[in-house]
A and B are shown apart, each in its own frame.
Chain A
Amino acid sequence: MADLLILAAAAMAGIAFLLALVRFLRGPTAVDRVIAFDVLTIVALTGIVLVALEEGRAVYLDVALVYALLSFLGVIVVARYLEDRAK
């Protein structure tokens, strides 16, 4: 039962990844692509947590922490660039 639910959760995360990927490919403006990038990194962080659960290794969660930090920094840098260019 629990294994089946985890498998369904992984499938849902895959669906979310593909949907965000469509917006990343199509998004008309730069802001749309940046928000799709944010969602992609968050879904990938969920995938890292799932991998850590599957393998049973807590070391993998460090990568998730670095990932969250870098996603945040990337979005901030891009937003600052877009704002500066508008002036």
Chain B
Amino acid sequence: MSGLLEILGAAVLFAGTVFLALGALGLIRMPDSFNRIQAGTKATTLGTLLVLLGAGLLAPTFAFKLVLIGVFLLFTNPLSSQVLARAAARIHAPKVLGGAVDRFDEDHPDAKGGRA
């Protein structure tokens, strides 16, 4: 039955890399920086976790370190995405929906007067 587990692990690993490729494609296709942050962080987080799961199914002796890497990524990846998005809002990165309501500037008046 180890053959079946191997095929399942390889399939999960392949699915993870498909998500990585789709995230990178979104990085190319999305129109502005904020959309690119969404595409480039969420899809790649899911893809990496699937790759780690597939590697754990393929080689069960690696499981401890893979779980460690997975937990670490699960904590740090959304955090870096959020910090980057906040920096993009602070430096007034160009937006596609330029006329939309932006509550961030109202909540953070000290952030105004940047590069505009």
Contact = CB atoms under 8 A, between A and B. Distances in A.
Contacts of A32: 33, 36
Interface of B is mostly: helix
Contacts of A39: 23-24, 27, 40, 44
A52 B66 CA distance: 11
A75 B80 contact: yes
Contacts of A15: 21, 24
Residue among A12, A72, A83 facing the most chain B CB atoms (10 A cut-off): A12
A86 B69 contact: no
Interface of B: 3, 6-7, 9-11, 13-14, 16-18, 20-21, 23-25, 27-28, 33, 36-37, 40-41, 44-45, 47-48, 51-52, 54-55, 58-59, 61-62, 65-66, 68-69, 72-73, 76-77, 79-81, 83-84, 86-88, 90-94, 110-111, 114-115
A12 B80 contact: no
B62 A52 contact: yes
Given A53-B59, A68-B73, A86-B115, A43 B83 contact: no
B14 A9 contact: yes
Contact of B72 (A9, A36, A65, A79): A65
Interface string A38-79: 110011011001101100101001101100110110011001
A9 B91 contact: no
Range for the number of chain A residues in contact with chain B: 35 or more
Nearest to A39: B40
Given A53-B55, A75-B84, A83-B90, A12 B18 contact: yes
Contact of A13 (B3, B20, B52, B87): B20
A60 to B, nearest CB: 9
14 contacts: A9-B17, A15-B21, A16-B20, A19-B27, A36-B27, A36-B40, A42-B77, A46-B47, A61-B65, A72-B79, A79-B83, A82-B91, A86-B91, A87-B114
